[in-house]
Amino acid sequence: MSSIYKRGNTWTANIFVMKNGQRRRKTKSGFKTKAQATGWASEMEVAKQNDTIVLNSKLLFGDFYDNWFNTFKSPTVSKATVKWYQYVSATIREYFPTTKLDRLDRVKFQQFLNDFGETHALTTARKMKMLIKQVAVAAIADGYISKDFTYNTRVTGLDSKDTDLKFLEEPDMKALADYIESKPIQTRAVTDMMILTAMQSGARYAEIAGLEWTDVDFDSSLIHIETTWDQVYHELKPTKTPSSVRDIDMPTQYMTELYDWYTLHPETRFVFETKNTMPPTSAAANKQLRRDLDDIGATKVITFHGLRHTHASWLLSHGVDLQYVSERLGHADTSITLSTYSHLLQTKRTSEINKSINLLSNL
């Protein structure tokens, strides 16, 4: 059953449907002609018969998001991931304070992405869209909306740090390793040992910080990655992904130094532990890395995570098998490794350019 009437210069259409034992109304106004209003009402009648109609809702976008998160996500995600969802919630409530869920459309969401991208990194904007898309899918499944308002919208954002700044070239990589190894093991900083471990293993900060002596196999010259250190809550937690659980083969020279380190710290729980019996923070590790890079006169200043990029880039540039490098880094598949480390070290890039030009010149 529907009703069509004129309001001012435009037409309005109403249809009525029983929902959960209650008579509910769905309204749309602004039609320029009665025929348009009638056509919409007919479409809604068909949807009503097919049980696909979406009723008008007074539910705010922010309220639906929080309800969905508390019900479906909060019990299953890590504490670190919770912070991301909380950040998305705060952003939604700031940008869409009074927006009803069923009033969202692709235009409004694209405008939001455009505005958000003006002040945030591209990677942050991509994650924001990904998490909100989950809510859109849930809202469709629950019958609150009929279309995905995130579909085919484009993410924009500030350019991240240039790829070349994320890893060290081979001369600086070797100089950094030599510099740390020149420091007597008895007085060497804990963070220097973490830096050396990152260069030799390609492991993440949280994986290295979470290493316990039981994770070190001196006989087989490997370290076992099974947990990560949460520096916010001061606790061990599972690895980033199941594929991140892995054994990493380490060079004999490094394992010799690590054994010397063990003889100096046999009673500690963590391989790299400060006086407060906890691993150093990422801030402390980054501070030490910047100091070391300054001391060797490095051409680039990178973050601790950049040591992971340095490790992977160096192996790939020297022809190490992609599958092995991917497994060493703990990636789920080689496509992640390819997309992240498609670049080569500068010396390798120059060599490949010259090789290509010489080959093409002989055509």
**What is the structure's pLDDT at 345?**
45
Rg (CA), the chain: 28
**What is the structure's pLDDT at 228?**
95
- Report domain 164-350's class: mainly alpha
Phi, psi of 263 (to 5 degrees): -65, -25
Domain range 61-141, its CATH number among 1.20.120.160, 3.40.50.970, 1.10.150.130, 2.60.40.10: 1.10.150.130
> What are the pLDDT digits (tens) for 217-235?
999 999 999 999 999 889 9
Distance (Å, whole) CA 328 – CA 330: 5
Distance (Å, whole) CA 58 – CA 40: 21
pTM of the entire structure?
Answer: 0.60
Distance (Å, whole) CA 197 – CA 255: 10
Q: Flag residues of the chain having pLDDT under 70.
A: 1, 16-26, 40, 44, 46-57, 80, 160-165, 342-352
**What is the structure's pLDDT at 276?**
93
277, 229 Cβ separation under 8 angstroms: no
Please choose, from the candidates 116, 119, 150, the residue with its C-alpha nearest in 3D space to the C-alpha of residue 132: 150
Q: Tell me the C-alpha to C-alpha distance, in Å, between residue 101 and each of 51, 60, 142, 159, 237.
A: 20, 5, 12, 31, 35
283, 311 Cβ separation under 8 angstroms: no
Phi, psi of 352 (to 5 degrees): -70, -35
Q: What is the DSSP string of 11-22?
A: EEEEEEEEETTE
* Matching residue, tokens 């099974």: 226
Q: Where are the domains of the chain?
A: 2-49, 61-141, 164-350
